Amino acid sequence: MKKLLFIINPNSGKKKSKSDLIDALVSFSAHYQVEVYCTTKQLDCLQMIQNKGSLYDVIVVSGGDGTLNEAVNGLISCEKKPLLGYIPTGTMNDFSKNFDLTPSFEQTAKKIVQNRTFKFDIGKINNYYFAYVAAFGAFTNVSYETQRELKENLGDIAYLLKGVSELPNLKPYHVKMKIDEQNYENDVLMGLIVNGYRVSGMDVIEKDDHLMNDGVFDLILVEWTDNLLEWIHYPIGLLKPNITAKFVKRIKAKDIEIDFDSPISWTLDGEKGEENTHFEVNNLPQALEILY
């Protein structure tokens, strides 16, 4: 009988009832030999998969996008890569929207055991990996600096409140980029490297069935302007992906090299990433396979 490892982050999002969990286990147990592991601290999920991932046919993780990011980094390191299952129980759950997965243990478990799979691209940035977004600049720290208690109690509004508090800190970042064979240099407010269509609860890319496995990223660069009246173009350009807006540049790219004047930290799938001045970003086509 095939083996399934069920990794649960009990601190992710709103707490689920025991009956929900039991329903999922009943579904899994009908098809797999199941083992359950509950994380107790950050990087538990990553280390568990790195150490034992190749022993399983399927690894299902329950948690937010941060837990998912740990799973992706762990799975990439496995010599024999298990199939990935994901039950999204975080606040935003952006990645899961690409596959219409729900926070319901029972409903998503029933989807997983149907054995329908999809091979999806993974992003690599220096020595780390991301599933759906790597971002730098304005507001990109909001996801990991917002207090857990606020996220649990207020949901999406907690991110909005934190974002408002960041307004006085807005500044330009000077970047030099090699985007495939194209050179780019400018002052930007923020940059997003997107695999999928949704970031921070917003649809920033036109939805398409092949966004997650087309072998390229959608690079969004929000260019800096000192004219505050021109900032109206920012939300239009970000939230209306089918409209060409001033100061919002969109580029399809597979490989990107980026240099900053001083060290800057990135956000990877909503979690704090490495701080450095030089970054190499590569698309790894169809590197992992998800059950959905």
**Cα distance between residue 10 and residue 285, in whole Å:** 32
**Residue at token pair 């538990």:** 44
Catalytic residues: 271
CA–CA distance from 158 to each of 67, 104, 141, 144, 148 (Å)? 19, 22, 13, 11, 9
The Cα 69–Cα 280 span in angstroms is 18
Q: Which amino acid is at 177?
A: M
- Nearest to residue 13, comparing CAs of 270, 268, 196? 270
Note whether 201 and 167 are within 8 A (CB).
Answer: no
Residue 148 zone, left/alpha/beta (φ > 0; ψ -120 to 50; rest): alpha
Instruction: Report the alpha-carbon distance of residue 13 to residue 23 in Å, rounded.
Output: 19
Residues 6+ apart with CB under 8 A from 85: 4, 58, 59, 60, 61, 108, 112, 290, 291
Angle at 242 between CA 139 and CA 130, to 5 degrees: 45
Separation between Cα atoms, residue 256 and residue 177, nearest integer Å: 7
Strands 83-88 and 58-63: parallel
Amino acid at 4: L
